[in-house]
A = this chain, B = another copy of it.
Amino acid sequence: MSDRNNAGKRMYEFAGKIFPLFRSITGEGVRKTLKLIADETGADMKILEVPSGTKVFDWTVPPEWVIREAYIENEDHKRIIDAKENNLHVLGYSTPVDRWVELEELKEFVYTEPSQPEVIPYVTSYYRERYGFCMSENLLRSLPDGRYHMVIDSELIQGSLSIGEVVIPGKSEKEIFFSTYVCHPSMADNECSGPALAAELIRFVSSLEDREYTYRFVFLPETIGSITYLATDGRLALLKERMKAGFVLSCVGDDLAYSMVGSRYGKTLADRALKCVLKGRGEFRDYSFRDRGSDERQYNAPGIDLPVVAFCRSKYGTFPEYHTSADNMDFVSPEGFQGSFDVMSEVIEGLEKNGCYRINVLGEPQLGKRGLYSTISRKGIYDRILVQRDVIAYCDGRNDLFDLSERIGAPLSHILEIVEELLEHNLLDKDEREGE
């Protein structure tokens, strides 16, 4: 794992590869994206294809969108906008059209973001049939009077919704779960970053020798995809039985912040693990479930009740580039990706080693005779010898690694290091916490 420090660079490059694909909640864009992920990771990816019209809980799998061409041309047959140049130009899920209209009428079918006049907004109409185009406010204002030709060559067909699933087995059937979405077109942070991090974590998890847990990664369209996934082939019952902790990955490529969105009551192992690692890295934004917005909504819905939180750098919806053409490959960076990888790989290492440890001698162990007492000096905001002393005191079978980190106020990585040293000296037994 010597190339963990190259993770950010790899992720950035892979995000760039899937950036141009023309995704929607269904269709070829999704399938091509899944194929690239499978190729990148070398993992055995299972593809679920669920037919349009299938009832999934309270919802129905929608038709598949086929989009071949979308542009507006002027009277000189010059294309004003063309989805080939930027796939945000077409309203997502547009029905077909082929009409000449005057400028005034054209405007009824054009979406802009007047408060950010230079960007193309991202707009969709999934659950009501309509057609439309998106462009910058500046471009719209510059259009002279005249006639314009609106062309969208699309179809809504009885196809299927596609989901990719990678399962990497461990010693235990208990699972750590990752979910990310593959339904937005050319946006970098709010689309490509999640699959890129998931791909890198597949590589990381695969490299872990003697893996404790089974790892499940799913790649799906937001909302309808997670609902469909849970409703298909007994996945809900399986996940309820096996999932120890789950993470939605979204907007993990920028370097402006670290954020998490808690589970419904904010108390699951996933909450504690991610919060612990983020605290150890300094400031972060700790959003409550009331600020939720991605698939943590479905995984935490009443009756679903899975222990899932969301991890973001800048949370979706909180940055001006969100859902615009400005969320491009310049908005994300290798450094941003690297930070996300470092957080999630530390979460995984913590979960792998986690348990309620218990000192197996009575009274304080004599550290001197084991050479454990003199390793005093690492400087910092805390003193290693005191952390070691506190780890020993609170390894009483009641605190897991995340509790220890929280209680003692030391980063998880330092707790892990001390616990491993004590394990090497056979001073610790490990209990599983009940109910986890």
Residues of A within 8 A of B (CB): 56-59, 127-128, 223, 226-227, 230-231, 236, 264, 289-290, 292, 297-298, 300-305, 358-359, 361-366, 368-369, 386, 390, 392-397, 408
Question: How far does the alpha carbon of A394 sit from the alpha carbon of B303 in the complex, in Å?
Answer: 11
**Sample (23) of A-B pairs whose CB atoms are under 8 Å apart:** A56-B363, A57-B363, A58-B361, A58-B363, A58-B364, A59-B366, A231-B363, A236-B362, A264-B393, A297-B393, A298-B364, A301-B359, A301-B362, A302-B358, A302-B359, A302-B395, A302-B396, A303-B358, A303-B359, A303-B362, A303-B363, A303-B396, A304-B362
Question: How far does the alpha carbon of A390 sit from the alpha carbon of B289 in the complex, in Å?
Answer: 9
On chain B, the residues within 8 Å of A362 by CB distance are 57-58, 230-231, 236, 301, 303-304
Assess the A363–B264 pair: CB atoms within 8 A.
Answer: no
- For A58, A127, A298, A359, the residue with the greatest tally of chain B CB atoms inside 10 Å of its CB is A58
Return the chain B residue nearest A361 by Cβ: B58
Given contacts A230-B363, A301-B359, A302-B396, contact A127 B264 (CB under 8 A): no
Partner of A363, one of B227, B292, B394, B397: B227
On chain B, the residues within 8 Å of A301 by CB distance are 359, 362-364, 392-393
Contacts A58-B363, A264-B393, A290-B390 aside, 16 further interface pairs with beta carbons under 8 A come to A57-B361, A57-B362, A57-B363, A58-B365, A58-B366, A127-B368, A127-B369, A128-B368, A227-B363, A231-B362, A231-B363, A236-B362, A290-B386, A301-B363, A302-B359, A304-B362
Partner of A396, one of B236, B264, B359: B264
- For A304, A392, A393, the residue with the greatest tally of chain B CB atoms inside 10 Å of its CB is A393
Question: How far does the alpha carbon of A52 sit from the alpha carbon of B298 in the complex, in Å?
Answer: 66
Question: How far does the alpha carbon of A302 sit from the alpha carbon of B358 in the complex, in Å?
Answer: 7
Question: How far does the alpha carbon of A230 sit from the alpha carbon of B364 in the complex, in Å?
Answer: 12
Question: How far does the alpha carbon of A236 sit from the alpha carbon of B127 in the complex, in Å?
Answer: 59
| A-B complex: 9 closest residue pairs judged by Cβ atoms | A302-B396, A58-B361, A57-B362, A57-B363, A227-B363, A302-B359, A303-B362, A58-B365, A127-B368
Question: How far does the alpha carbon of A390 sit from the alpha carbon of B288 in the complex, in Å?
Answer: 12
- For A56, A226, A363, the residue with the greatest tally of chain B CB atoms inside 10 Å of its CB is A363
Return the chain B residue nearest A236 by Cβ: B362
- For A230, A236, A300, A302, the residue with the greatest tally of chain B CB atoms inside 10 Å of its CB is A302
